[in-house]
Amino acid sequence: MRLACVQESPIFGEIDPNAIMITGLGRFKKQGVDLVVYPEAYLTGYCYDSEEHALKEALPISGDENDLRWDHPVVDFITEAVNKIDIMLVVGTIAKDERGLRNIAMLFEPGKPVRAYYKCHLPYMGVDRFVVPGDNIPVFDTRLGKIGMNICFDLRHPEPFRIMGMRGADLILLPTNWPDAPHTERDALCRARAVENKVFFASCNRTGDENGYEFRGRSGIYDFEGRELASAGTEEEVIIADLDLEKAREKATVVPGMEVTTIFESRRPDLYRDLILGDQD
């Protein structure tokens, strides 16, 4: 499969213009791209200074991660474009449901209901100060393979990536709004999440300035051994890489006659009690 990460700057609080930029998917189809990824909160922007402002702009949703329903024409607009061009799409948005504000990554697949991941780990930053965290770590069956998603600060926590790996993810996507910060740290974590779970991995960050925050890109696509397949600089850019997802399904490393190492079978859950329950003493 061919993956594209679109490192761009959205227009803060302008859902319709941002959606119009997204639906220019024909250019990717001409390049043989199967899946296009946009950054976290791309439809709405991220740097809201109040819950009231964010609620005003958030996309109304209901349902769950496997059957997302909405009350906004922009989702129909994007769905129509995806179906017409016959391409898959992931894009971030701020949303709202009966529990409050949500930070979600929406997965569009031709002929399928819209599905979504709800950000679980929240920093005290931007709109995430007001967001209700998600409580599920899904892996989605798609026509390309099994795809998992996390969002931005989720990267700091290895546990959800391990869960997605154990649930059979071939590819994990990370839409982000990383502010200007050392790139080496993020790059190391992206590579680590790929290697420790033997999955393909892609981070898609934004660029530009928004309400006092600076975003400087550096998106990346990595293979199941942590090798960089494509990377972006600090300006608007599209990166593309070809992924053989079948290779992510072999979780053992075999050197004939010498060694066999495994990712999941070698785990010792009996030793990890404190990781789950905390120190009870």
Residue 55 lies in a domain: yes
Please check the confidence at residue 182 and state whether its pLDDT lies above 70.
no
259 falls in which pLDDT band (50, 70, 90)?
confident
DSSP 94-150: EEEETTEEEEEEEEE-TTS--EEEE--S--SSGGGGGBPPP----EEE-SS-EEEE-
Residue 268 lies in a domain: no
pTM for the structure as a whole: 0.95
pLDDT the model gives residue 277: 72
Mean pLDDT taken over the chain: 93
Query: If you count them, how many residues does the chain have?
Result: 281
Residue 67 lies in a domain: yes
Sequence-ordered strand ranges (E) for 165-235: 171-175, 200-204, 207-210, 213-216, 220-222, 228-231
Residue 275 lies in a domain: no
Q: What CATH number has the domain bearing residue 79?
A: 3.60.110.10
Which residue range(s) make up the domain with 158?
A: 2-250
pLDDT the model gives residue 232: 95
Residue 242, φ and ψ in degrees, nearest 5: -95, 130
Residue 271 lies in a domain: no
Dihedral angle computed from the Cα positions of residues 209, 19, 217 and 97, in that order, rounded to the nearest 10 degrees? 80
Short-list 220, 181, 214, 159, CA closest to 37: 220
180 falls in which pLDDT band (50, 70, 90)?
confident
Residue 218 lies in a domain: yes
Maximum CA pair distance of the chain? 64
263 falls in which pLDDT band (50, 70, 90)?
confident
Q: How many distinct structural domains can be found in the chain?
A: 1
Residue 262 lies in a domain: no
Please check the confidence at residue 202 and state whether its pLDDT lies above 60.
yes
Say how far apart CA 231 and CA 5 lie, in whole Å.
Answer: 9
Please check the confidence at residue 217 and state whether its pLDDT lies above 80.
yes
147 falls in which pLDDT band (50, 70, 90)?
very high
Distances in whole angstroms, Cα of residue 118 to Cα of each of 47, 73, 104, 134: 18, 21, 5, 5
In the chain, the percentage of residues whose pLDDT exceeds 90 is 80
User: With b meaning 16 or more CB within 10 Å and e meaning fewer, what string describes 181-203?
Assistant: eebeebbebbbbbbbebbbbbbb
Say how far apart CA 240 and CA 259 lie, in whole Å.
Answer: 35
Say how far apart CA 185 and CA 32 lie, in whole Å.
Answer: 32
Q: 255 forms bridges with which residues in the sheet?
A: 259
Residue 77 lies in a domain: yes
